[in-house]
Amino acid sequence: MLWDPEFETLPREALEALQLKRLVATAERVYATVPFYKKKFDEAGFRPGDIRSLKDLSYLPFTTKMDLRDHYPFNLFAVPMEQVVRIHASSGTTGKQTVVGYTRRDINTWAEVMARSLAAAGAQRNDIIHNAYGYGLFTGGLGIHYGAEKMGAAVIPNSGGNSKRQIIIMQDFGSTVLTCTPSYALFLSETAEEMGVDIKKLKLRVGIFGAEPWSEKMRDEIERQLNIDAIDIFGLSEIMGPGVSIECIEAKRGLHIFEDHFIPEIINPQTGDVLPYGEKGELVFTTITKEALPLIRYRTRDISVLYPQPCKCGRTHVRMERVSGRSDDMLIIRGVNVFPSQIESVLMNVEGVEPHYLLIVDRQGNLDTLEVRVEVNEKGFSDEVKELQVLGRRIEKDIKDLLGVTAAVKLVEPKTLQRSEGKAQRVVDKRKI
Ligand code: DLL
C-alpha cells in the first residue's frame, strides 16, 4: 500500500528537480551554519551556489563517522539547541558514541517516512504493531513507534527483552505485525516453542526486520518458523533512524529509498569514486530535508547496489539491494576478504544446523585462524558423534569452496550461543586485542 502516493510515485524528472532544489537549500544552510562544512567546502573550492545539477553532488565533501565523533556531542548541529526536541545516540563498537539530534519538523519527517515504511510492508490502521525494537537512545523503538502512531495503528511499546512476556502479549493482544531485529525474531520463535505456544497459529501476519545484516535464507527460515511475510527495513541514526528504505510486500526485492528525503550514491570505498547503478560498493547518503543534523555525503560503510528499474508496487524511488555487510565488518583472513553474511549463507544451506552462529577470528603465530561455532538442531544433536563430524567437515568444505578460506567448524549444542535482544554479535576478533 502507498502511504503518500503523490511523493512515492513521482515521475523521475519531477523527483530529480525536487532533489536538486532541496540539495541546494541544504548545502546553503550547512555552509552558513556549520563551521565544519564551511571549511570543507572552502577547501574543496566549491560553493553551494555552484551546484547546477545532481551530478555536482560528487564535488561535495564526504562526511564520516569520525567527523561526527570529532564534533561530539553537538557541534555538527545546524540549529540552536532550543530548536532541538530529541537526541538519540548509536553506541558503535569502538570509540565514542555518535550523537544525533532532531527538530520538531525532523521528528515529523521521520514519522512520515516510517508510516510510509509500515504501509510498504503491508501494515494498516487496524493493525496491532508489536514493537520489540529497543526503546531508548537506539532509534529503533521510537522510530517505529512514531510511524505506527502516525499511521493510526495500535502500537505496543514492548522494547526488547522479557521474551516470555512478549509471547503472552502477542497471544493475548492479538499482535498482527512484529517489529524487531531478525535475530530476535528467531529467538522469540524459540521462546514460544519452549513455552508450548505454536507461534505459527498466532495472528502475526508480517514482520519488519532490520538493524543488522541478514540473508535471503534467514528470511526463508523466519517466514517458515513464524508463518509470516518477513520484510527488510534499513536505516541508520546519522541519517534518521529506521525508515531510510524498506522492501515492499508486493516484490520483496530491494529496498525503496525515500529519495525525496535522502539522496543515495554508491562509491568505491577505496577511491571514493561514484559508481554507476548496478555496481556494488559503499552506500553514501545526503539528507535533503533534515534540519538539526543535515549530513552531506555521509559514508555509511554499508555495502549495497542501487538499481533504478521500476517496481511492480508503483514506487518510482530507486531500490538498494539488501546490505550484505559493512566495509569495516569485512574480515580479512589470511588475505581473503570475508563477510560474516557470506558464512551465514553457507550455514543456512546446510541441513541440521540452526541460524545461530559466532565467528571467532584469532592469530596463531603469524597465521589468522577462523573458528565457526554453529548450533546443531535437536535432531542433529542426537546423532552419532561420527555423523556430527561428517556434518562439520561438510561445512568446512563448503566454506573453503565458496569463500576460499579455511575454517574450523565447531558444532555446539542447541541453544548454547548467546541470544541478543537487539543487534546480534556475530564476530569476535581476538586479533585486535
Ligand atoms: O540500526 C536503525 C534501524 C533500527 C534500522 C531498526 C532498522 C530497524 P544504527 O544503530 O545507527 O541504526 O545502526 C545503523 O545498522 O549502518 C547498518 O550497518 C545496520 N543496518 C541497519 N538496518 C539494516 C538492514 C539502526 N536492514 C547500521 N540490513 C547501518 C543490514 C542494517 N544492516
Question: Ligand 1 centre from 213 Cα, in Å?
Answer: 8
d(CA 339, CA 342): 5
d(CA 78, CA 409): 50
Cell of 229: 511475510
Whole-number average pLDDT of the chain = 94
Taking the CA of residue 98 as reference, the ligand 1 atom at the shortest distance is: 11
Ligand 1 atom 9: residue of nearest CA: 236
Ligand 1 atom 20: residue of nearest CA: 211
- What is the pLDDT at residue 92? 57
d(CA 9, CA 314): 6
Task: Output the CA torsion sign for 174, 177, 181, 185.
Answer: positive
Pocket test for ligand 1, best of 323, 326, 342, 420 (most atoms within 8 A of CB): 323
d(CA 369, CA 364): 7
Question: Ligand 1 centre from 211 Cα, in Å?
Answer: 3
- What is the pLDDT at residue 190? 93
Ligand 1 atom 30: residue of nearest CA: 213
d(CA 344, CA 166): 27
Question: Ligand 1 centre from 244 Cα, in Å?
Answer: 10
110 conformational bin, left if phi > 0, alpha if psi -120 to 50, beta if neither? alpha
pLDDT tens digits for range 200-222: 999 999 999 999 888 898 899 99
The pTM for the full model equals: 0.89
Query: Which of 240-244, 283-287, 335-339 shows the lowest per-residue confidence on average (mean pLDDT)?
Result: 335-339
d(CA 243, CA 34): 26
Question: Ligand 1 centre from 196 Cα, in Å?
Answer: 32
Cell of 258: 525515500
Q: Classify each residue of 330-361 as buried b or exposed e, where b means 16 or more C-beta atoms within 10 Å of its C-beta.
A: bbebeeeebbbbbbbbbbbeeebbbbbbbbeb
- What is the pLDDT at residue 403? 86
Residue 358's alpha-carbon distances to 303, 344, 419, 426, in angstroms, are 21, 10, 11, 5
d(CA 394, CA 81): 58
Does residue 4 contact residue 112 with C-beta atoms inside 8 Å? yes
Question: Ligand 1 centre from 233 Cα, in Å?
Answer: 8
Distance of CA 386 to the CA centre of its chain: 39
- What is the pLDDT at residue 383? 75
| pLDDT confidence bin for 189, thresholds 50/70/90 | very high
Amino acid 380 reads: G
Does residue 164 contact residue 195 with C-beta atoms inside 8 Å? yes
Taking the CA of residue 241 as reference, the ligand 1 atom at the shortest distance is: 2
Pocket test for ligand 1, best of 100, 159, 234 (most atoms within 8 A of CB): 234
| pLDDT confidence bin for 425, thresholds 50/70/90 | confident
Question: Ligand 1 centre from 243 Cα, in Å?
Answer: 10
Residue 80's alpha-carbon distances to 60, 76, 85, 87, in angstroms, are 24, 11, 11, 13
- What is the pLDDT at residue 326? 81
pLDDT over 70 (residue 199): yes
Task: Output the CA torsion sign for 120, 203, 172, 168.
Answer: negative
Question: Ligand 1 centre from 53 Cα, in Å?
Answer: 30
Question: Ligand 1 centre from 116 Cα, in Å?
Answer: 17
Q: What is the CA radius of gyration of the chain?
A: 22
Angle made by CA atoms 180, 184, 190, in degrees to the nearest 5: 130
Taking the CA of residue 210 as reference, the ligand 1 atom at the shortest distance is: 26
Question: Ligand 1 centre from 326 Cα, in Å?
Answer: 11
Contacts 24+ apart (CB under 8 A), 65-71: 65/92, 65/98, 65/238, 65/299, 65/301, 67/36, 68/98, 68/99, 68/238, 69/95, 69/96, 69/98, 71/36
Question: Ligand 1 centre from 112 Cα, in Å?
Answer: 18
Taking the CA of residue 302 as reference, the ligand 1 atom at the shortest distance is: 18
Span between the terminal Cα atoms of the chain, in Å: 49
Cell of 2: 502507498
| pLDDT confidence bin for 304, thresholds 50/70/90 | very high
Question: Ligand 1 centre from 242 Cα, in Å?
Answer: 7
Pocket test for ligand 1, best of 69, 91, 139, 245 (most atoms within 8 A of CB): 139
Q: At what angle do helices 12-33 and 35-44 cross, to 10 degrees?
A: 110
Q: What is the DSSP string of 359-371?
A: EEEEEETTEEEEE
Query: Which of 90-94, 145-149, 180-184, 358-362 shows the lowest per-residue confidence on average (mean pLDDT)?
Result: 90-94
Q: Which residues line ligand 1 (CB under 6 A)?
A: 90, 133, 138-140, 210-213, 232-237, 241-242, 300, 302, 323, 326
Cell of 241: 533512524
pLDDT over 80 (residue 96): no
Q: Which of 416, 398, 282, 381 shows the shortest CA–CA distance to 343?
A: 398
More confident residue, 365 or 402: 402
Pocket test for ligand 1, best of 302, 328, 421 (most atoms within 8 A of CB): 302
| pLDDT confidence bin for 404, thresholds 50/70/90 | confident
Ligand 1 atom 18: residue of nearest CA: 302
Taking the CA of residue 213 as reference, the ligand 1 atom at the shortest distance is: 30
Cell of 150: 502516525
Q: Classify each residue of 67-91 as buried b or exposed e, where b means 16 or more C-beta atoms within 10 Å of its C-beta.
A: bbbeeebeebbbbeeebbebebbbe
pLDDT tens digits for range 264-281: 999 999 899 999 999 999
pLDDT over 60 (residue 93): no
Q: Are strands 229-236 and 353-364 parallel, antiparallel or unpaired?
A: unpaired
Residue 164's alpha-carbon distances to 83, 169, 187, 238, in angstroms, are 41, 9, 10, 33
Question: Ligand 1 centre from 237 Cα, in Å?
Answer: 8
Taking the CA of residue 237 as reference, the ligand 1 atom at the shortest distance is: 11
Pure H helices in 284-424: 340-348, 378-381, 385-403
Query: Which of 66-80, 279-293, 370-384 shows the lowest per-residue confidence on average (mean pLDDT)?
Result: 370-384
